[in-house]
Chains A and B, each alone.
Chain A
Amino acid sequence: MYRWVEHTGELELEIEGEGPEEVLAEAATALRELLGAGGAPTGPATRRIVTAQAPDRPALLAAFIEELVFLAESESLVPIGLRRVELDEGLARAEVEVARADPPHLVKAVTYHRLEFEPAEHGYRARVVLDV
């Protein structure tokens, strides 16, 4: 589950998941909403392996989202589904279904401001602020 939180200048995303993998999957779904808001995909779905590395779990979430943002900016590919997510020490690897679209609202960067990705009462909770 994810939700966009009011932020005067930027976009703040809060995510909850039963496990850390679900948090990454929800992040991809949120990016699909954000980057796919320009309309339906204009090309067939393809698969990409997205990998991210970082020294800790919150930074790993930021790095994973950055990879999705880079796909959108460099190839106009937006995520439409997540096939498989693997999380290991400092490494995330996901098989992502992507499709060509017209991303209307590109994210400049994924910030470390108030960045969180921690165990919570019912799973995991994360927060990330995107510079738009």
Chain B
Amino acid sequence: MFELRNISKSYGGVHALKDVSMTAEPGKIHALLGENGAGKSTLMKILSGAVQKDSGAIYIDGIERDLSSPKKAKNEGISIIYQEFSLVPELTVAENIYLNQLGETFWINWNELYKKADGVVKSLGFSLDVKRKVASLSVAEQQIVEIAKALVSELKLLILDEPSDVLGPREVRILYQTLEKLKERGVAIIYISHHLQEILEISDSVTVLRDGKAVSTVKNEGLTGDKLIAMMLGKVLNRPKRTTPALSSEAKVFRVSGIGLSPSFTEIAFEVRTGEILGIAGLVGSGRTELLRAIFGADTMPKKQLYFNHRSFNSTTPKKSVEWGIAMVPEDRKKQGGFLTQSLRNNISIARFDEVANRLGFIHKAKETSRVTGLTDRLKVKCASIDAPLGSLSGGNQQKVILAKWMNSGADIFLIDEPTRGVDVGARSQIYDILFELADSGKVLIIVSSDLEELITIADRIVVMKNGSIRGEVGKDDFSEEQLLRLAIEEKEI
């Protein structure tokens, strides 16, 4: 029996997990459910030794254990299978299954290796040519190899992170069969998923995480999808509200059309008015980020058509988009948004130098300083100086700097992906204030967020995406997390 007791973890002052307790019993499937960012992955990384907990304890069969490294977790019989498989594509099935043991003997007895590997695969109820390269296998087959790999060392607990996301319906059946076999062997299974139907079907019990806290743990008896949704949502603190201003007759329209994120689905088209905040909801992988990137020209989208201020255009590169007054704040601040090793000054100036530099590109430093400090003061950026590197700031302040960059560039249309990811609660409301201010000053805001409550707080209108197309649109008067979640999750139209 695996017990997590009062596990807490925070990243730079932001609580990812707070006092989370849960148990996993041998021969049972325990599901872990929660919205994006609820802390599911962090919790499982702690259990598998990839991330260190700040406080709390892990007990195995009643004895406290140290799981501070992946190796230690492995020795306790804990294996985790991520969505991204950790197989070596160019090696055979047998080599992958025994990868961790291959170096233990000087000579490899290939015949024996193949025989043993074949035995393991058969014990799961499958037959696979173990001499095939993993690269030639289907995703479902690769998943079986992953499970077989976990089985060859002592396996007491198997964690699966969104295992069905990569599988088709028939393949999901295969996965269920495999899990049944593991249950018979007395393996404890933790199954992370946001597919309610799946959880209802296969789990023995469910723990729901919300905002880093374990909201409840229930047995799968008489559970319904509605009950699970209710548990996932809950209510927390009140956030600032903005009353949608009446659309003035001067409002201009920003129109997007011809975006096809997936050939089999309908093209995306919508419009937003200046002064309006459009929210985009949907699960990870629903195409929200891709939509913003397509509008911005970060990825090529040949048939895209944009329209703003009585003019049609198709900006095929970020450079052209910026010239057209479009700005994008990407979801991954570290990789795409900012220059962590560079000064705030350079981070803010970079998208538009012409106000502070002459035609030869020489920068008038005093002008730049006053412009940049003007923005950092206005957005209440906490920093030692504007020459401090961006990386020395907290997540919330970094995000303000990225917003400042685009305000400095004079953009009219703001595409913002996850405005408050990695931002603590205090700075969050400041960022909302900035967004409201931008909208009130007549900018167009299109905001993607995984946090439904956030969208309800800031948006005037929300469209919900699923599988690369728009599933529905909800007006401000009809905002409810339940409605949004239903559109984002459920298979059929409601």
Instruction: Tell whether A pairs with B.
Output: no
Chain B interface (Cβ within 8 Å of chain A)? none
